[in-house]
Structure 1
């Protein structure tokens, strides 16, 4: 008889637990549905920072790219790790390849970042190993935009310049490089022909 009683109590207990649990899940489901309907009806507000894009472009242009730039060609080469004409060729080629790297009008109707700003941030990150948020102060570009530009830049360089520059050198290339080295005082082959290196 005790076992019948305990079986009944167990069954009643589990029925009550199941009933209570099912009630909670229904209530929880209703709460989730209400939250979803409330959150989807409200527009999400995205915070934007006015970085002064136009000011950043003008400063960059006047410093390096105007007819009378503030900084010399030598300073440009030191800071960008390439000549100005090479940088401008890259900016032009990648701007023609990917419209993200072009200047566009943003959602508020303002002019976006210039190709010079985007490519300057990329080159600074690559040349100096700078984090994406470090270039914000001078170039006036946000961290996430810098990262997006970098990803598109790398893909664009592979597509646009890959066949010409990202290949193994052929005999003509090697000969040209050796001639360039010799003209700058670098000796040719340091090991005379026929001699093997001894270790």
Structure 2
């Protein structure tokens, strides 16, 4: 937090938001401020008492990270530490990602698509997210070339968050690998 907090662990400023919107528009998505998704990060040193609530299908405990990332790998929203038994929707229900909007602190945006003015930015998502105006999903079965092109562009741009997850996993192995070795831990007190 001391090293990276001021630059990377903060809400976007007005200038940041303008840059994100500009990048989104250049990529064919006016009003887009990034991609949102969740990943399950293996937690090798999960305490035994917690293992059940952090373990799902894989049989290994995981911690969930919800993140919004932009093309430049800037993660400007991270919600980390929920039990791995939760899916993206359960995490979203607990997430503070929309707190600024709900509390009236969100920076104002305005953009036009197909002759209609919009005032709320959006995120690119995969198909599990709800059909809200703040989420733009791909078209599962495109029926015409225009829909196929949209699906191709949306899926390519949405990979930003997946790429960010890959970088986090490669650079911060502290979550995956042991922090302490058993021989370095103090002996438990005996009563």
TM-score tier after normalising by the smaller chain length? under 0.3
Calculate the TM-score normalised by the size of structure 2. 0.25
Higher RCO structure, 1 or 2 (CA under 8 Å, sep 6+): 2
Q: Which structure shows the higher helix fraction?
A: 1
Calculate the TM-score normalised by the size of structure 1. 0.24
